[in-house]
Amino acid sequence: MPDLIRPLRRSLWLSAVLALSACSSLVGHDDRFMAVVPLYRVEIVQGNVVTKEAAERVKPGMTRDQVRDLIGSPMVTDAFHANRWDYVFSIRRQGTSAQARRLVALFDGDVLKSLEVPPDLPTEKEFVASINTFKAQGTGPKMDLSEAERAALPKPVRAAPAEAEAAGATRAFPPLEKN
């Protein structure tokens, strides 16, 4: 009996070593392996999304509360630079390119002195389009009628009030006010 167990153990060890060596050979060949097996990547969103429309509403001379109401709380407030607010935004999503932006609000006391905005700040539509990973499939349903199509519709027929009451279709609503 012990003579049969030794060869069995050796064959198990040998198959385990071969299996592990096959896995390690795939690590060096990412391009072929990744083309066959797509991996899920975690979506990472950090910071404040500030669009061009929101940044244009912020004007010098506004108070800190007004700025906070328009573009949100800053991502970074520094105890050593109390007159500076940093709005940082970054996003990494599978299927889209990584984005990173930084706005800096400089204050003189409680009043906004300037807002440093990057030149590539997107509008709201551009931002939504840049993170949208859903592919449009054809055209959507038609949602509006032309004037000719509206004219071709049959006119609604209204029943006379006496005919409606005779048919038993009466309405009884509770009074709106107490008498």
- Give the tens place of pLDDT for each residue, 10-67: 877 777 777 766 655 555 555 566 666 767 778 888 888 899 999 999 999 999 999 9
pLDDT tier for residue 79 given thresholds of 50, 70 and 90: confident
Question: Does residue 142 belong to any structural domain of this protein?
Answer: no
CATH of the domain at 109: 3.30.1450
Question: Does residue 18 belong to any structural domain of this protein?
Answer: no
Secondary structure (3-state) at 104: strand
| Domain count within the chain | 1
Instruction: Please check whether residue 46 is in contact with residue 92, taking contact to mean a CB–CB distance below 8 angstroms.
Output: no
**Beta partners for 112?**
107
Copy the structure tokens of residue 14. 């040998």
pLDDT tier for residue 69 given thresholds of 50, 70 and 90: very high
Question: Does residue 160 belong to any structural domain of this protein?
Answer: no
Question: Does residue 136 belong to any structural domain of this protein?
Answer: no
Mean pLDDT score across all residues of the chain? 80
Secondary structure (3-state) at 10: helix
Helix runs in the chain, H state only: 2-27, 30-36, 52-57, 64-71, 124-131, 147-152, 161-166
Q: What's the average model confidence in pLDDT over 164-177?
A: 68
Question: Does residue 147 belong to any structural domain of this protein?
Answer: no
Share of the chain above pLDDT 90, in %: 28
pLDDT tier for residue 169 given thresholds of 50, 70 and 90: low
User: Is the pLDDT confidence value at 128 over 70?
Assistant: yes
More confident residue, 96 or 53: 53
User: Structural domain of residue 124, as residue ranges?
Assistant: 44-131
Question: Does residue 95 belong to any structural domain of this protein?
Answer: yes
What is the Cα–Cα distance from 44 to 91, expressed in whole angstroms?
A: 6
User: Is the pLDDT confidence value at 81 over 70?
Assistant: yes
What is the Cα–Cα distance from 18 to 126, expressed in whole angstroms?
A: 51
Question: Does residue 61 belong to any structural domain of this protein?
Answer: yes
